[in-house]
Amino acid sequence: MIMSTLFWKTVKLSPVLLFASLFLASGASAAESNSDQTAEGWSTAAMNLDAEPAASISSTLNDGATLSEPIPATDTSQPAVTVSPRFELADSTFPEPVPAAGTTSVESNQEVLQQIQRYGNEGSTSLDQVTSVGQLRDVSPGDWAFEALRSLVERYGCIAGYPDGTYRGNRALTRYEFAAGLNACLNQIERLIGTGGFDETELETLRRLIQEFEAELATLGARVDNLEGRVAFLEDNQFSTTTKLRGEVIFGLADTFGDTIDGGDDDTNTVLGDRVRLNFETSFTGRDRLRTRLEAINMAEFNSGVTGTNMTRLGFDGEEENDIAIDELWYRFPLGDNLLVQIDAANGEFQDTIIDVVNPFFDSSGSGSISRFGRFNPIYRTGSGAGGTLTYGLGNVLELSASYFADEGADPGEDRGLFNGTYAALGQITFKPTENITVAGTYVRSYYRGKDFNDDEGNVNITGTTGSLLARRPFTNDVATSADSFGIQANATLGRFSVGGWVGYQDAEAKSGANEGSDADIWNWAVNLALLDLGGEGNKLGVVFGMPPKVTDNDIGGREDDDTSYHLEAFYRYQLTDNIAITPGAFVIFNPEHNDGNDDIWVGTIRTVFSF
């Protein structure tokens, strides 16, 4: 008789513990999921921002994307606006290493974490304790387990329901889930035992259940202890709760070949240079980003002083002798669902803001074109310094951008400051009829004060040091100059094949000197092709062909480019590992300085990028 009673009590109690296990496990998982979102919410929210950006504002809020980019690439609660890769807070090119702790392998710990994440994917909010079975609106007295559920709720107090008042009793569970739920329920029962709420028969049943799942409980307990140790290690050693450190290091091996433009021999030697960038990415709300970039660079500039022309410059050069300086300092944040704002305090440039330059596979100095000219339309280089940018998204297909930069915005001197010196103001309309096609029309109004008694070098640079010397300064460096720049950019990506390009026109006007009022016309264009994942995931073959900026007409005689230079470039980016990429490439300038009397100049480089 005693054995019969024990048997039926066991049968009655087993389904009770089974259902309890399910929801206690789910509750624990949901709570852990919420904890992760609290700690990492800003890195997985809804905005994608990279060092080299490029992309659209549509329905989700590269130096790697239109306003459609999630703040973090893994955000599960995206806002009503889509913001492209340039807005992402989590940069896919910078994986996040996890420190090791304990004796369990990284793969094993990751497997457990994935299981825990799966357990909680039914909901993102914590489960609520149920005090009456009547609170579960999808459970009725006719259900076969109704009595068991009522016993769990009223006698043992270890059942939980979802916030919407459902129980979801048909949901499947794994043995790990069962073990986790059983362990949590046993803790509740242990409390009841201490108060005398169990008789000997029920205790025997519990002992048998514990014995049945002893191995799973022991394994789960060990793994939970190990994970707790790893979490404690991360908390004790984390850099900051609001700031992430991301880095990029470039080693560049480069040389030029051919005669200089004056007919002299090319005396340049092979060089090995570097560029180091450390980005401190900070978020205060989960949808904003403050970037502070430290940069040290010593990569030879193959400019007019070396080859006789600026057309031979690399896309990642700079000669600062590795002195550390703040290269970027900006704050980016959304206003509502459709408007994104960026404020640059130092060294801002149009291509590094939330403006899409519509050249996604070539615009990055670390993973795109190896040349300065091949990265994007030179009209984006007409302004820099301190300023701000606004981008407003209209649905998924259209966005409007406006930006303003003052070259000497921090200088209170005469003909300086935010509004009295050199500046550039940009307006752009970006149209994206499909996910794979983007077209943009751009206008820039710029002014350069020219050289004065406080400035021996001057700052007239209409084409951003990408074309001929005449295109850079059509009226000499002493003359204050303004320019109206117009550009059309387009890109289409079809599977693993991308084609794009641009056309740029600039109307320059002399604003001082004996030739005040004189005009000059400057043109440039380029087309490019990219084959993605060629030879392996992450690899890229790129080809660029175009005409660097050229003065086609000038009211001042003798300051026009009579012939035409052409730029032809090819590179192959090989993704060696997730954190290392090697890009051999070369480009040739035919008729340098738009003079067919000059010999062609070749530039070759091997760019190796380490990201972390």
The three state secondary structure string of 198-261 is CCHHHHHHHHHHHHHCHHHHHHHHHHHHHHHHHHHHHHHHCCCCCEEEEEEEEEEEEEEECCCC
Q: What domain count does the chain have?
A: 2
| Position 550 in a domain | yes
| Position 71 in a domain | no
| Position 428 in a domain | yes
Confidence of residue 176 (pLDDT cuts 50, 70, 90): low
| Position 548 in a domain | yes
Percent of the chain with pLDDT over 70: 73
Token readout for 282 is: 């900070």
pLDDT tens-digit profile of 237-286?
Answer: 777 778 999 999 999 999 999 877 766 677 789 999 999 999 999 999 98
Boundary residue ending a domain (217, 236, 255)? 236
Domain co-membership, 479 together with 362: yes
Non-local CB neighbours of 41 within 8 Å, separated by 6+ positions: 286
Domain co-membership, 215 together with 345: no
Boundary residue ending a domain (236, 262, 293)? 236
The answer, yes or no, to whether residue 314 has pLDDT greater than 80, is yes
Count Cβ neighbours within 10 Å for each residue of 359-398 and write b for 16 or more, e otherwise.
Answer: bbbbbbbbbbbbbbbbbbbbbbbbbbbbbbbbbbbeebbb
Phi-psi region of 264 (alpha: psi -120 to 50; beta: other; left: phi over 0): beta
Q: How far apart are the first and last CA of the chain?
A: 69
| Position 454 in a domain | yes
Domain co-membership, 231 together with 336: no
The answer, yes or no, to whether residue 32 has pLDDT greater than 70, is no
The helix-helix angle for 214-237 and 106-119 (nearest 10°) equals 100
Q: What is the DSSP string of 542-589?
A: EEEEEEEEEEEEESSTT-S--S--EEEEEEEEEE-SSSEEEEEEEEEE
| Position 111 in a domain | yes
What is the pTM (predicted TM-score) of this model? 0.68
For residues 400-406, give the mean pLDDT.
97
pLDDT tens-digit profile of 133-150?
Answer: 777 778 888 777 777 777
Boundary residue ending a domain (181, 207, 236)? 236
| Position 549 in a domain | yes
- Domain holding 397: CATH number? 2.40.160.10
Instruction: Return the CA Rg of the chain.
Output: 32
| Position 396 in a domain | yes
pLDDT tens-digit profile of 556-588?
Answer: 988 999 999 999 999 999 999 999 999 999 999
Give residue 227's domain range. 2-37+97-236
